[in-house]
Chain A
Amino acid sequence: MSRNVQRLGKLWLSLKRTSLSSSVGRPLLGHRAVPSIPLPALSQGIHFSCNQFSQNQDSQTSSKSQSQDEKRIKLFIDPEVQTLLKELTGRDLKRIFRKRKIGQKLKEPKYTFMTEAQLQKAREEAEEKADKLLQMPPVLMPRKTIDEILSFDPCIQLDEVVPSTLIFTDISMNIKDRDRIIVARDPDGTLRQATWQERDKMNAIYFPTEGREFIPPKMFTQPLALQTVLDRASEEDNTYEFVLDRACLQFEPEDPLFINAAETTYETIDRAGHYDFLKSTRHYGPMVFYLVRMRKMDNILLHCIKHGRVTTDADRLVTLFQIIFPECKSKSAEKTINAVDKIKRYIQLDAIRKGELELALNAYVEEEERKAELEEGLRRQHAM
């Protein structure tokens, strides 16, 4: 046998981590000269915590703008920002607890007699439930690709006649999906951590989540499909809420597909001006955060001013802008500043649609003055 080996002289063995097909017929080394590649220790090799794929790692991005964007996205969990977003979302309990056609069985309404104390308790419970329903899906940086090689063993190339990748999943109980060990052995002998696509598929096979489709819906994989759905959005259908809820159900928040779906929805809402479709839902906060972060705040600001929500929503929007862009020009040193003055400062120094915003704000101020005069007049009349 060894004589034959020497005679053939090309017992091909690819020492480069390439796919098997490209290594056929490439004589690199004789059989005996294959260097031994050290295998990882049995217990340490694959018992590897996947925590490094979480968002807590420092970014290694090269461009400055990307790291700035990352810093702004990290501001989402800032307590001030969270408070502002929650206040902007609103708490219309009628809308939060409305009947939704999501395939759940309808329950008959129960009517009971209650004392004042019981009623108060019931109200508190409803508020708590509303808080839960309004919990915002987190805004995170898109997850980085997994690119880790655990071991390379070219000597097992072609151990099966028709080579294929072997995906190994650890199905121990009580492990989170993102911590589960999922590795892949390629036909060329590489043992590597599975990619995010492979991980998602394996978690879906062995630990399916209810409501999460195995094959992602076309509206998330085909960009035209999503646009078609969003273009025929209507208030009765709650289209935007449906799309965003479905995305939350299907993907993890760091999944680039989720981020893409959410951002496309926010852009469509911005173009159509349908901001109030998402009011009192859990998606309003992330939407506002996205628009402010991308410097597209002016449309929604105009919308708020036109609807008279100056001292409330518009003021909060400008405050949010000043937190996310601390280098902005309109940040004033005075601690207490009138809402209207603050917005005026923003319009003069940082706004993009200056003209329309100024007109709207002036219209609002005049309207308020007229209302104040009218009230003063009525008050004097009644006093007399």
Chain B
Amino acid sequence: MPLPSIGGGTFARAGGPCIKLFLHGHANRPFFHIVITSKFAPLGTHPVEQLGTYDPMPNTENQKLLSLNIERTRYWMGQGATFSNTAAQLLGKAGFLPIHPETYMKAWRNRYKVADDEEAKKAAEATAESGPSQPPSSSSP
């Protein structure tokens, strides 16, 4: 039985090495291994090597734990490994890679949505207050 963390998988002909998040864990409890596999390998394939772990569920101190064997990761980067989207985003947040543009996009969209919701709520409150005394005013400035 090939053991992932000390090698044992192989690279497919096309694709090359890729650093991805490999889902382990159980029902309603995800846990990821950060592994190096072939880029187009099916999802359950044995990876070549395990480089780290990522726990997406925050612990009691509201921390998400990410570990990475930087030495080995840099070796694989030297061998031409690429990163999957989520792996690159995660490592960008961690400071190992530059922050991924999708992180900025996601953050902007979330902030926009929160601001939008706040505005809608304020408008609703304004109309509720002015409702009994006056006819509802137009909400658009």
Contact = CB atoms under 8 A, between A and B. Distances in A.
B30 to A, nearest CB: 14
Interface residues of B, number: 36
A11 B96 contact: no
A159 B103 contact: yes
B32 to A, nearest CB: 13
A227 B130 CA distance: 65
Contacts of A5: 112
Interface stretch (A129-137, A170-178, A297-305): A170-178
Interface residues of A, number: 47
Interface of B: 52, 58, 61-72, 90, 93-99, 103-104, 106-108, 110-112, 114-116, 118-119, 141
A7 B64 CA distance: 36
Interface in A145-169: 150-151, 153, 155-162, 164-169
A47 B99 CA distance: 17
26 contacts: A7-B141, A11-B111, A12-B111, A13-B111, A39-B98, A42-B98, A46-B96, A155-B107, A155-B108, A156-B103, A156-B107, A158-B111, A158-B114, A159-B106, A164-B58, A164-B64, A166-B64, A166-B66, A167-B66, A168-B66, A168-B96, A169-B65, A169-B67, A171-B68, A183-B95, A191-B95
Given A42-B97, A42-B98, A198-B63, 4 more contacts: A5-B112, A8-B119, A164-B58, A172-B70
A166 B141 CA distance: 41
Q: Top 10 nearest A-B pairs by Cβ distance?
A: A168-B94, A159-B107, A172-B71, A164-B58, A158-B110, A169-B67, A164-B62, A170-B70, A171-B67, A159-B106
B107 A12 contact: no
A46 B96 CA distance: 7
Interface in A1-57: 4-5, 7-8, 10-13, 24-25, 31, 39-40, 42, 45-47
Contact of B64 (A11, A151, A165): A165
Contacts of A206: 67
